[in-house]
Structure formats: structure tokens, C-alpha cells
Amino acid sequence: MPSAPSVASIRTEVVDLMSDTTTGAYTDARVNQLIARKLSETYNLLVGISEDYFITSATITLSANANSINTSTTTVIATSVAMLKLKKIFYTDGTLMYELQQMNVNDYQHEYYNTTTTDPRDFKWMLLGKKLIFSGKPVSNTSLILWYVPAFNDALTSTTALTWVVPFNWTDMVVYGVCADLRERNEEDPKYFTDKYREAKQVLVDEATNRSLAQDYTFHDAFHRWQ
């Protein structure tokens, strides 16, 4: 299995394609900044196609008599990167997991919101700004399991390995995008690299779409019994 690409290996490809081995306009630090920008763009594109490529989990605690958690200060989530998207929340009693249902602002009722209960299985949740708000309060500290997509971490160095679990080539989009940006910054014609970037992006979209080949099951009223 090939090793994971790094910022340095991507930069090497860029320099090779630009036919420029000098520093100056192509200093490592400057190229690294452009690489980080294109990596972020590629990451968000893949998340938009299927967040499952990057989804992860964390166990957090909803404190007794509390009905909210600040996601920006929760240690498990905010240790290195922020949470980009929240997919599911489960309550666990240590043995079983129960998925909590999402609510929206229109579902909010003040009386229900302040209810204290020994059974959090019926709690609903919503994200409001940086706060994760629940429809009730547990009587004791309660473990919750979050499935979420972390935001792209742009704290990169040349040796940063990009261990994305993506089973196809995504680096071409980054390489050609950086080359096009460098051409534009030098007031040179970026068309060749812009065209290659668009081609690589379309290939990536085509390969990343429909990750799961599992059949979607639907009900069909073959005998018109539901009319």
C-alpha cells in the first residue's frame, strides 16, 4: 500500500509541474499556504458528497442538571480541531445505545426544556451556535456518544501526513489547483492548470459519489392496497 501523501510530497509535485526548482516566488512556506487552502477545499467537497469519509466519534458528558454543552470548549471535540457537522447523538447506559432525535427551534417548549429526568432516552437535541442543547436535564452525569465530522485542520507542516481514508486519488485536484493559483499570482496564463484542475475535480466527484453500493429498500404498493 502506498504511503500517505504529505504536504512536502504535494509541494514536490507542484514544483515539478511548474518547472521551477528555485525559491523566490515559490518559497516552501508560501506554497504550503496554498496547499492548505486547496486541501481545505477538497476536504469540504468530499464532506459535501459523503461525510462518512471523515466521520468520527467521541464520548462526552452531559452534566447533572444541565441541558447544554459548549462544543467549542468540550475537551474531546476541541482538543485539536472544531466540529464541522454533527450527524447523530446516542445515549448510552453502559450496555445499550439509544439514538436521540434531533429537534429545531420551533420544537422548543420552555416547560419541557427544563424537565429533569432519570431517563435521558427521550431527550431531543439541537445545535444553536456553538451550544448543543437538549430538551431535558439528567439527574446525574450522563454519557453521550457523538458521531460528527471534524473541521479541516489547517495546522500543517511539511511533514504532515494526510491520512484521509479515501480510496482514490484526490491529490491531483490539490496539485493542479495550487499550480493555477501560482500562475495567476505571477500574472501568467493559468489556463492549462485550470483545465487540469477542473478535470481532476470532476473525476474526484464521480469517484466519490455513491460510496455505498447497498440497495435502498422502498415499499411499493403493487396491489394498490394503500389507495
pLDDT tens string 88-130: 999 987 788 899 999 887 776 654 666 788 888 888 898 887 7
pLDDT of 128: 80
Strand partners, 100: 89
Count of alpha carbons within 13 angstroms of residue 31, beta-carbon side: 27
pLDDT of 23: 40
**Where is pLDDT greater, at 116 or 179?**
179
**Residue 187 neighbours by CB distance under 10 Å:** 7
Percent of the chain with pLDDT over 70: 81
**Angle, in degrees to the nearest 10, between helices 191-208 and 171-185:** 160
Confidence grade of residue 1 (pLDDT, cut at 50, 70, 90): very low
Q: What is the mean pLDDT of residues 26-48?
A: 90
Confidence grade of residue 21 (pLDDT, cut at 50, 70, 90): very low
The rounded distance, in Å, linking the Cα atoms of 61 and 36 is 33
**Where is pLDDT greater, at 82 or 145?**
145
Domain ranges of the chain: 7-51+164-208, 55-150
pLDDT of 2: 54
Name the least confident of 87-91, 164-168, 221-225.
221-225
Q: Would you list the DSSP string of 206-220?
A: HHHS----PPPP---
pLDDT of 227: 45
The rounded distance, in Å, linking the Cα atoms of 47 and 9 is 23
The rounded distance, in Å, linking the Cα atoms of 25 and 4 is 27
Q: 217 pLDDT exceeds 60?
A: no
Name the least confident of 37-41, 127-131, 176-180, 196-200.
127-131
